[in-house]
Structure 1
């Protein structure tokens, strides 16, 4: 009996997982996250609905490149050098940190530059679409300059734009001018026309009909063709003759390329400069007229004429 073995009983306790009810709480965390996100979403929607267009632009500008100013030192929204906005009750206009309004003149200049670039593209498309104009492409030079968009119609030995020594327009020159006239009406900018010649002199020299008169006559003849082609009457601001004073720099003075018509689509700054120049010259002339002359001498009484008529 003493040596009789007894079986050893091992009891294993297992943890029972809860099924539903209040025993599990992980779903509450997920639900709380969802509700927080929804609350943030509706808060953002409410702020957008009550914000003015100016405030929306400021918010969009910040989220577009939030660290651009801090990293690259680019232009800031405000005049402040501080990376932290200043204090104030109005969060759109902090004390000591007011949004810098865009320069109106700069915006107008950019819009005008964009308009001139579009005009250049329209002229290029017009030339490529018309077989006649496409054949004359070597005679056309279109480029952006400081005063605006310059369109130069250049002469050549094989195909002159005018009859020799005359302001009579050749047919292909007429085709160019009449074709571009409607395109020039598409923008509000005014136009300056200038005629240029080579330095080959007339037999009579400068005392008679010279390159000055010829260049001016050719510029005015070009103006007439533009008007016939549909250009508005008030578009042309100035027509001038430059003779041979502004020749192409890399060519000789008697080269055919110097015989050309320059059509300049003026930007607002160049137009105002021309108008200001004319206004100053007119004021000076009026001032000269207003200057008092010498006082008349005192009249000496004389006997009346015998037979007045």
Structure 2
């Protein structure tokens, strides 16, 4: 029965089966909705930013630069930056007592001066971030907003020094950093003060010969010369002083490398007038009336 006669062909009939695709649900709809929501939010933010004033943009930047812990504790923002370049000074989030917080706020610079100096800080940070060599120095540059102005501190580390040992000769990376800041400082009308600092390691002769006093002053003057060579108007230089090892960074050991530093202070007009008047702490309007 199953055998085929000689010459006959087997006929095979193939019938296609209709296979229905499995139901995958509506997950793609949720993903699409999330994408459209994100795009709408992006376009909305871009529209708001494009129509915001410079003052509003500055306020927006300050908001996002404030750490959540500081914002929740209602701390002062002046050293609460989350910048990749460390800030300096005490953290207002850890200031104890309401009176201490009020005292800090009473010493703040006028808003317009503070805004100008903050913009200077952001520009210096941008220059450092764009240059690979300067980027390696980011942990050695600290910013601090003080009642006198913006303090920029350039610090030594055990791995990288700013000057040759026991000398005022600048290393090449330090020279590059100072010259990069000079044109930015020159764009502002603010006067500049420079102070040099050393650690507590003394010379063999102590203070009877060349000492940390002379070394700190010589290093401050070396930075002054580099700033002028980089484009800073020498008339802006109001004060160059050497502090020796008498002003270590709070919380550090006097012999720590971090105390070998250059402190560059971009002065407010009020602070500059007080220095010109011999350091007398008089109101700005009283000094201007002379």
Q: What is the rounded CA distance, in whole Å, between the counterparts of 2:147 and 2:129 in structure 1?
A: 26
Q: What is the rounded CA distance, in whole Å, between the counterparts of 1:160 and 1:181 in structure 2?
A: 20
TM superposition shift of 1:279: 9.3
Q: Counterpart of 1:271?
A: 272
Contact 2:178 2:230 in 1 (8 A): yes
TM-score normalised by L of structure 1: 0.54
Q: What is the rounded CA distance, in whole Å, between the counterparts of 1:124 and 1:173 in structure 2?
A: 15
Mapping of 1:2-41 within 5 angstroms? none
Structure with higher Rg: it is 1
Mapping of 1:282-297 within 5 angstroms? none
Q: Counterpart of 1:164?
A: 165
Asked if residue 255 in structure 1 is aligned to residue 250 in structure 2, the reply is no
TM-score normalised by L of structure 2: 0.58
Q: What is the rounded CA distance, in whole Å, between the counterparts of 2:123 and 2:146 in structure 1?
A: 17
Asked if residue 231 in structure 1 is aligned to residue 232 in structure 2, the reply is yes
Q: Counterpart of 2:209?
A: 208
Please, which runs of 5 or more residues in structure 2 have no aligned partner? 1-108, 282-290
Q: Counterpart of 2:189?
A: 188
3-state SS, counterpart of residue 178 of structure 2: helix
Q: What is the rounded CA distance, in whole Å, between the counterparts of 1:277 and 1:258 in structure 2?
A: 27
TM superposition shift of 1:241: 0.1
Q: What is the rounded CA distance, in whole Å, between the counterparts of 2:111 and 2:279 in structure 1?
A: 26
Q: What is the rounded CA distance, in whole Å, between the counterparts of 1:122 and 1:177 in structure 2?
A: 14
- After superposition, give the CA deviation of every residue in 1:109-161 in whole Å (9 maximum; x if it has no partner): 33212111111111111111111111110111112111100110101111110
Q: Cα RMSD between the aligned structures?
A: 1.6
3-state SS, counterpart of residue 247 of structure 2: coil
Please, which runs of 5 or more residues in structure 1 have no aligned partner? 1-107, 281-309
Q: What is the rounded CA distance, in whole Å, between the counterparts of 2:133 and 2:236 in structure 1?
A: 26
Q: What is the rounded CA distance, in whole Å, between the counterparts of 1:210 and 1:217 in structure 2?
A: 11
Q: What is the rounded CA distance, in whole Å, between the counterparts of 2:209 and 2:240 in structure 1?
A: 21
- After superposition, give the CA deviation of every residue in 1:182-238 in whole Å (9 maximum; x if it has no partner): 010111001000000001111011110000000000000000011111111211100
TM superposition shift of 1:278: 6.7
Q: Counterpart of 1:136?
A: 137
Asked if residue 113 in structure 1 is aligned to residue 111 in structure 2, the reply is no
